[in-house]
Amino acid sequence: MVIPLNTPATGGALLVPYPAMLDVPHELVEHVSWLIYARRRELNSPWRKLGCFKQALLALAHLRKNETFAQLGAGFGVSEATAWRYVDEVLDVLASWAPGLHEALVGLGEGDFVIVDGTLIPTDRIAADEPYYSQKHKRHGMNVQVIARPDGTPLWFSRAAPGRTHDLTAARAHGIVQACLTRQILVLADRAYRGAGATVRTPYYGHRDLPEHYQQYNRDQARLRAPGERAFARLKSWRALQRARCSTRRIGRAVQAVHVLLTCDYTG
């Protein structure tokens, strides 16, 4: 961990390292380090300035705490460029283990239901900003869709689309509507998905003017959809996805990497 310290004597910023804790299980760091080790063996590139465990720790610190590459580099004794390269490599390794849409739906079928929702991953990359500006959220970012189990466990996260993309448009483009229709899986979604058809069920429009049984349906549907918010809450507990400073092209990989971290079995 490092903090910037303005020093009038040097006229610049000095990065001062200090001890810190990372709130992830030790077993998770070991699991990621084994994945890195396997990738190095595959590339026949066993030697790096940082060992597999330290590289895993560096990448997890970036995802969990959203520290800059300059801070990470100073804290781990490598250059800013090397820290960026190490994190990028770990994102690739983890994202390669993320399930595809059809793989995520294996075992589900008629009689099952899932929750579909969308969120915005905020970003400070606002040059060429119009495609990334979400009118709904009134900020720039990337649209990510999730398919979650009834208890909120994420099954699948989509690739990231520009923030102005409507949730229904994104769901159709990613193939969510068709994939769930093919398997006859009931989909519960909010009003943003109205008009999806197929097996997608959304609340009825209207408030007090709705018949009581429609209002009751909306209350029941909202109660069943509520756990879906946990999927995004867990995703954004990794602070790199609370406000992404990376290229918009890397956000999708970061989402997939965090999904693997949330669901991987490192106890074996």
pTM: 0.86
- What are the CA-CA distances from residue 201 to residues 42, 105, 195 (Å)? 46, 18, 9
pLDDT value at position 11? Answer: 47
pLDDT value at position 260? Answer: 95
pLDDT value at position 109? Answer: 87
Distance CA(155)–CA(108), nearest Å, equals 11
pLDDT value at position 10? Answer: 42
pLDDT value at position 135? Answer: 81
Distance CA(4)–CA(14), nearest Å, equals 6
Distance CA(260)–CA(253), nearest Å, equals 11
pLDDT tens for each residue of 128-154: 567 888 888 788 899 999 999 999 999
pLDDT value at position 92? Answer: 95
**Residues in the chain where the model's pLDDT stays below 70:** 1-13, 125-129, 207, 265-268
Q: With the C-alpha atoms ordered 63, 64, 69, 72, is the resulting torsion angle positive or negative?
A: negative
pLDDT value at position 207? Answer: 66
Distance CA(168)–CA(227), nearest Å, equals 20
Distance CA(52)–CA(50), nearest Å, equals 7
Q: Which residues contact 70 (CB under 8 A, 6 or more apart)?
A: 15, 80, 83
pLDDT value at position 35? Answer: 95
pLDDT value at position 9? Answer: 46
pLDDT value at position 153? Answer: 93
